[in-house]
């Protein structure tokens, strides 16, 4: 299917790895010019800094032209096993909320005015099923993703009359560095007799929560993101779409 994205300019935050990288590749296959904003990328864009985001936007538009599509995949977890939540101190929350919530705000504030002025554009935010089911594994991450879902709906309402669509895509179980970090935090808190390898832990979890009983691939998330960014989804805004193997339905 031709998504008619050829020649458009897209920004992908968190695009150096994982789902963000898959989104970069999906847009490039469709003929987009893509700017990668990532703290670990060449430009070292820190979404938790409004100044860093503003600088990145100026450089991107001077190099590639006006940004028509945003995919916001930059996020982080606490790096600790949060069940029960009392395992985490208040100080374990701050950086997660700064990156995952304020980062989303900074990116939206930077890109929305240009899209509104041109009366066209799309924003897709990468959420998580953790933001819908209250995953106890990492409460700061879960809470921040719930906030992302809600704020995306606010943006969708605010920007609809300006021709800008906003949606959220929630992955389920995907093999990414962030997912493996969740396992690592769990593993370090277990006694020797209860520890399981990443593959064993993940296989058990997938079987328990996802009716399709398999990993979701980053490319599968990216395919949905590209579709939602295209004119094929011109009537779709304010939606939260799960690409999760049926996990939330199961819950």
pLDDT value at residue 87: 85
Q: Is residue 1 in a domain?
A: no
Residue 20 has pLDDT above 90, yes or no: yes
Residue range 91-115: average pLDDT?
97
Q: Is residue 3 in a domain?
A: no
Q: Is residue 217 in a domain?
A: yes
Largest CA distance in the chain: 60
Residue 31 has pLDDT above 70, yes or no: yes
pLDDT value at residue 1: 67
The H or E element that residue 20 is part of is: helix 18-29
Q: Which residues form the domain of 109?
A: 9-250
pLDDT value at residue 156: 98
Give yes or no: 198 in active site.
no
How many domains does the chain fold into? 1
Pick the catalytic residue: 125, 141, 201, 227? 141
Q: Which residue has the tokens 């006694």?
A: 191
How many Cβ atoms are within 10 Å of 235's Cβ, its own excluded?
Answer: 6
Q: Is residue 186 in a domain?
A: yes
Residue 224 has pLDDT above 70, yes or no: yes
Q: Is residue 245 in a domain?
A: yes
Q: Which residue has the tokens 């990288």?
A: 21
pLDDT value at residue 250: 52
Residue 80 has pLDDT above 90, yes or no: no
pLDDT value at residue 232: 96
Q: Enter the tokens of residue 71.
A: 């995919």
Q: Is residue 2 in a domain?
A: no
Q: Is residue 205 in a domain?
A: yes
- Provide the pLDDT confidence category of residue 144 given band limits of 50, 70 and 90: very high
Q: Is residue 4 in a domain?
A: no
CATH number at residue 15: 3.40.50.720
């Amino acid at each position: 299917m031709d998504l008619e994205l050829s020649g458009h300019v897209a920004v992908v935050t968190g695009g150096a790895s994982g789902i963000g990288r898959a989104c970069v590749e999906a847009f490039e296959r469709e003929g987009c010019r893509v700017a990668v904003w990532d703290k670990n990328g060449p430009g070292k864009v820190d979404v938790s800094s409004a100044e860093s985001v503003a600088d990145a936007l100026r450089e991107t538009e001077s190099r590639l032209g006006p940004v028509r599509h945003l995919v916001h995949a930059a996020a982080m977890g606490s790096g600790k096993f949060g069940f029960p939540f009392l395992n985490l101190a208040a100080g374990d929350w701050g950086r997660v909320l700064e990156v995952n919530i304020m980062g989303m705000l900074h990116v939206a504030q930077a890109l929305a005015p240009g899209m509104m002025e041109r009366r066209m554009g799309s924003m897709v935010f990468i959420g998580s099923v953790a933001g819908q089911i209250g995953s106890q594994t990492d409460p700061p991450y879960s809470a921040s993703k719930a906030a992302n879902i809600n704020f995306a709906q606010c943006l969708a309402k605010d920007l609809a009359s300006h021709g800008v669509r906003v949606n959220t895509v929630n992955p389920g179980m995907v093999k990414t560095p962030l997912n493996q970090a969740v396992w690592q935090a769990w593993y370090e808190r277990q006694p020797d007799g209860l520890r399981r390898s990443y593959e064993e832990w993940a296989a058990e979890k997938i079987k328990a929560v996802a009716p399709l009983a398999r990993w979701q691939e980053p490319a599968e998330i990216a395919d949905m993101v590209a579709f939602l960014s295209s004119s094929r989804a011109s009537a779709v805004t304010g939606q939260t779409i799960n690409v999760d193997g049926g996990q939330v339905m199961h819950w």
